[in-house]
A and B are shown apart, each in its own frame.
Chain A
Amino acid sequence: MKTLFEKVWDDHVVVPETADTPAILYIDLHIVHEVTSPQAFSLLRSQKLPVRRPDLTLATMDHSTPTVPGSTFRDLAVVGENAAQQIRQMEENCAGFGVDLLGYGHANRGIVHVIGPELGATQPGKTIVCGDSHTSTHGAFGALAFGIGTTEVGHVLATQCLLQRRPKTLAVTVDGALPAGVTAKDVVLAIIGHIGVDGGTGHVIEYRGSAIRSLDMEQRMTVCNMSIEAGARAGMIAPDDTTIEYLDGRPRAPTGADWDAAVARWRTLRSDDGAAFDREVTLDAATLQPMVTFGTNPGMVLGINDPVPSSGDASFRKALDYMRVEPGKPMTGQAVDVVFIGSCTNGRLSDLEQAAAVLRGRRVADGVRMLVVPGSQRVKDEAEALGLDRVFTEAGAEWREAGCSMCIGMNGDIAQPGQLSVSTSNRNFEGRQGVGARTVLASPVTAAAAAVAGRVTDPRTLLGQQES
């Protein structure tokens, strides 16, 4: 009896681990971006090594690229000279090593964790790595996907393999039906709040249960994406009909007899009944509500109407001081300066649709800046075909080019010191969205509601108004 994780792991062991040496694990898909790869390519150059499998390497640019509407590669000045240099070096590295680059202006460019799935390159049973901690996103397909450092990016480029010790397993089961207004983002924030920001350290999480099964692929990606925020190496969801339907017909998905063989193999990828996990945690979906963070890590999270807790702990108090929030009061009512819809957590089409549903026929409150940044060029094109861009711009929001943008603030998209940003991204760390910026993580629905109200708001009040 094996868990899903064990099946995928065992299928990729080139040399088994021993007491003295880690396993050599084969990597099926390596995604590369401009920020964590330059030093790895330099290593290959200095050792005169080629990229072993350019065909298993997918390269794009997302972190330091501009998102100013209509910007082109030649407008790189908008992101500063260093970022421009990094982008140019990425082009040179990919050209020099024979790696296809979905670069600036390419119809399939986008955030690493958005384009892998939408191209169908992310598939069940694969091992997938990227020099980026949110690689856990791809686990939504039943892949074993995790972030690596730049030295390891070099290892994979040169050998298509990694040295790895086998992690432990953690089953997180969410059963029941999600109440109205509660999304995948709220589910994963609740999980992180429950197990803590280090609750998954050393583990691969498998998300199970009827509430998880009921999520579509984009929502499953939102859940797996934030596994790393609980400290876990990876998060996985067993593939099922929803997964197979999503992949069918994608550009890089198998076709014909290969498709049939792949589907047959994918159907075996689930934890056997009675397979043992190192740890197990259970949550009841019916008790969940829209969630917002109140502190400076994603574990400092509460239900939208719950009061901020108090604690004598110095790190806790420091976080509350930074956020300028008081124990005993809920986050609702906090004045909002910036709203960011986007990122590899919530920058896919259904996320934009959810935000647009709140904004349709409404206005972004005076004094609030709202950025809507599609996760990829494809998401942007699809959203425009549905007219979502007009919903956003008519409401007074900015409709931007695809990229990471204000999730990480490397490209000039930042909040100002002291500003409060309600963000659909994944990290509310101090300074993540700009020096001194205060980040409240939330779902697209809650973020859009905050934009309309100009304050942190229970989105269900707006959703209710719309129905009546």
Chain B
Amino acid sequence: MKPLTTFQSRTVVLPTRDIDTDQIIAARFLTTTTRDGLGASLFHDLRFGADGQPRPDFPLNRPEAEGCRILVAGNNFGCGSSREHAPWALLDYGFQAVISTEIADIFFNNALKNGLVPIVVDADVHAWLVDNPGVDVSVDVRESVIGLPDGRRIGFPIDGFARHCLVEGIDQLGFLRQHAAAIDRFEEERAWKP
């Protein structure tokens, strides 16, 4: 994974609550055996009508959404299925961060493991971002803060280890494998065996 420290982008806003991973990427696109190219299917049934044409009213289809790397979404984003295809699709489409008032557990973990920054903010900051789509927001992963155009700097919670891995581009499997001796010992010494 590439190290990720700071970036800046305009936002695109999807204010809907409880956007589940089926909406982020529908199950029929999961019959893939790689993680490439999923951006084309991101939010497919929201982005495209039954005729396959883009829905002009969907925020991602508006001209000003072009190139936005930060998605602002309603409460409880990423609930539902554990499919890691959801962060893969968001990243492949070009997103680098998701901001919400709450982000579901499994999605949150999957996002971190792939370099998509899950950012939880309070209701006031969120409401401001929803009311001001397209503003420039900066993200500083090392400091765990976002910067708003009016100069406000807002901290967001992120596990220190996950942050370290993002900033240094560390692969968590490598970290786990460094503990192989402890895993061996655990297997040998435990009181009962599965």
Chain A: interface secondary structure? loop
Return B192 CB to nearest CB of chain A, in Å.
Answer: 6
Residues of A within 8 A of B114 (CB): 151
Across the interface, do A39 and B82 meet the contact criterion of CB distance under 8 Å?
A: no
Return A105 CB to nearest CB of chain B, in Å.
Answer: 20
Judged by a CB distance under 8 angstroms, whether B186 is at the interface is yes
Range class of the B interface residue count = 35 or more
Across the interface, do B82 and A133 meet the contact criterion of CB distance under 8 Å?
A: yes
When the two chains form the complex, which single residue of A56, A86, A126, A159 contacts B183, counting CB atoms closer than 8 Å?
Answer: A159
Residues of A within 8 A of B160 (CB): 19-20
Across the interface, do A198 and B180 meet the contact criterion of CB distance under 8 Å?
A: no
Q: Which of A169-177, A429-437, A449-457 contacts B (4 or more CB under 8 A)?
A: A429-437
Q: Which of A22-30, A242-250, A327-335, A344-352 contacts B (4 or more CB under 8 A)?
A: A22-30
Residues of A within 8 A of B102 (CB): 198, 201
Across the interface, do A148 and B106 meet the contact criterion of CB distance under 8 Å?
A: yes
Q: Could you give, for residues 406-449 of chain A, a 1 whenever the CB lies within 8 Å of some chain B CB and a 0 otherwise?
A: 00111000000100000000010111100110000000000000
Across the interface, do B182 and A24 meet the contact criterion of CB distance under 8 Å?
A: yes
Residues of B within 8 A of A28 (CB): 194
Do A39 and B35 contact each other (CB < 8 Å), given the known contacts A161-B176, A161-B183?
yes
- Contacts between the two chains (Cβ within 8 Å), count: 178
Across the interface, do B31 and A159 meet the contact criterion of CB distance under 8 Å?
A: no
Return A61 CB to nearest CB of chain B, in Å.
Answer: 12
Judged by a CB distance under 8 angstroms, whether B152 is at the interface is no
Judged by a CB distance under 8 angstroms, whether B68 is at the interface is no
When the two chains form the complex, which single residue of B33, B74, B79 contacts A231, counting CB atoms closer than 8 Å?
Answer: B79
Judged by a CB distance under 8 angstroms, whether A154 is at the interface is yes
Residues of A within 8 A of B84 (CB): 36, 39, 131, 149-151
Judged by a CB distance under 8 angstroms, whether B57 is at the interface is no
Across the interface, do A85 and B33 meet the contact criterion of CB distance under 8 Å?
A: yes
Q: Could you give, for residues 142-167 of chain B, a 1 whenever the CB lies within 8 Å of some chain A CB and a 0 otherwise?
A: 00000000000000000111001000
Residues on A lying within 8 angstroms of B by beta carbon are 14-15, 19-22, 24, 26, 28-29, 35-36, 38-39, 42-43, 47, 56, 63-64, 80, 82-83, 85-86, 89, 123, 126, 131-133, 147-152, 154-155, 158-161, 163, 165, 167, 197-198, 201-202, 228, 231, 233, 261-262, 265, 297, 299, 313-315, 318, 408-410, 417, 427, 429-432, 435-436
**Told that A158-B176, A197-B18 touch, could you supply 5 new A-B pairs with CB distance under 8 A?**
A36-B84, A132-B81, A155-B176, A160-B187, A409-B27
| CB-CB nearest 6 A-B residue pairs | A28-B194, A38-B33, A149-B110, A82-B31, A149-B84, A147-B82
